[in-house]
Amino acid sequence: MLHWLTVKVFATCRCLQYFTSFGGGLPVDLFIIFCFMKRILLLCLLMTPLFAIADIKISSFKKMGEGLYIMYYDTTATKHYITKSTVVEFKDFIVLMEMPISTDGAGATNLTDHSADGEVVFAALKKKFPNKPLKYVLSTHWHPHSISSVIPFISRGITVVTTEKNYKRISEYIDSATYAKYGKYIHFVGDEEFSIKDKSNSIIGYRIDRKDYPHIPTEDFVFYYLPKYNFLHTSCMFQRFKDYRVMGKEMISVRAEDVHQFIEEHKMSPACFITTDTWYDDGSGLSSGDTLTAMYQKGITMTALENVLMQMDGNFLVNNSDSVIRYITDNSIPISIVNSAVYTCLKKHDLDKALAIARIQALISPSNPNSWDTYGEVYWFMGDKKMAKRYEKQCKLINKEFTLGGEASWEKDLSEYRQMWAEK
């Protein structure tokens, strides 16, 4: 309706402008209509972002326990699958955990606030919990599939919880004037535990760092534990390759390895894990804690698979590359494991071994632009920029839209790795 009105008003204004262009001007009454139409057009354009661009709707709420709900989004317009937030009810307020409106993850650029969708989320919560205001929005990391909208919340005095490192990217949503006015409603989780609690419920936030948990998707990350239910909110970290077999065993993702490490170190045995996507739950909105236990009893970790390559001598990798390739392909070892081994070698400053594995990766998967980007990056680290640029060109020949690597990214990585090598 609004789009139709905007088009009609715009067309009318253009016609009136056309008639005035012949120098005769317009009668006073038509001139007044023209000015009125222009004002209507401006009003429509200002209103459109609020009412016409929202891509999501809240499809349902599912009660998971006393004071605990899963809020399901129909995000098929932006994500092509269903996503979910968690709502925790306290005595006098509610807390929203994650807001997976947008599909964007690590590759997100030009971040903007999905304000229209944020308004939809706020309205749905207000309708569901009319007597309890939303007090906190909890985010695990900066990716838009964790937090997609900020301004509609902080502008209402609702606290958005993140980390200082993650806010460096989230801040792209917010102009300086908005931050100056509402920045006090952004809370950073530090090394100490973050908690929200009253007599009816509680949430504890734990910030973890990539130095200790190497497979988290951002520099740091926040797990949220719900003691009342013994549930751990893991967002996109609990990933399962249920039907993928390597050496006859279920392959355990590196992110699931980090989740396992976290609960072991904190002596937790969660009854369930909460995720933001519906891919990894058991249909109820949750994933049983017993699932992770069973995975470790019967499966094989991606780290263990990578270690098979890491234990091979560099000369062996060079002189027996065909045998290594046959071993990888016969056992259905994913190419991502090979790629990961390259970067593990780079971290260890073993450039020759990194080059040998990168070459094997390119031979196994020559049609994958990332294979050539990785190969080029190793040469960049070795100082052979001519070869590095040659493989960057090969990468672009395969996919000119590939933007995850290249010289700027390689140089940034090299700077970070040099600091890592110096510290060691």
pLDDT tens-digit map of 15-43? 333 333 333 343 434 333 334 444 443 34
First vs last C-alpha separation in the chain? 63
What pLDDT, on a 0 to 100 scale, did the predictor assign at position 346?
A: 96
pLDDT at 51: 38
Q: Which has the higher per-residue pLDDT, 35 or 147?
A: 147
Give the model confidence (pLDDT) of 198-221 as tens digits: 999 999 999 999 989 999 999 999
Most confident of 142-151, 169-178, 338-347: 338-347
Please give the Cα distance from 201 to 129 (Å, whole number).
16
- Stretch(es) of the chain classified as CATH 3.60.15.10: 57-298
Average pLDDT over residues 178-194: 93
CATH class of 303-423: mainly alpha
The stretch 132-146 carries a mean pLDDT of 95
Assess contact for 259 and 345: CB atoms under 8 A.
no
Q: What is the CATH number of domain 57-298?
A: 3.60.15.10
pLDDT at residue number 11 = 38
Quick: pLDDT tens for 325-360: 999 999 999 999 999 999 999 999 999 999 999 999
Q: What is the pLDDT of residues 283-301, one digit of tens each?
A: 778 999 999 999 999 999 9
What average pLDDT does this structure show over 241-265? 92
Q: Enumerate the CATH 1.25.40.10 domain ranges in the chain, comma separated.
A: 303-423
Percent of the chain past pLDDT 70, that is, above it, reads 83
**How large a percentage of the chain has pLDDT more than 90?**
70
3-class SS at 198? coil
- Buried-exposed string 170-197: b where 16+ CB fall within 10 A, e elsewhere: bbebbeeeeeeebeebbbebeeeebebe
pLDDT at 208: 97
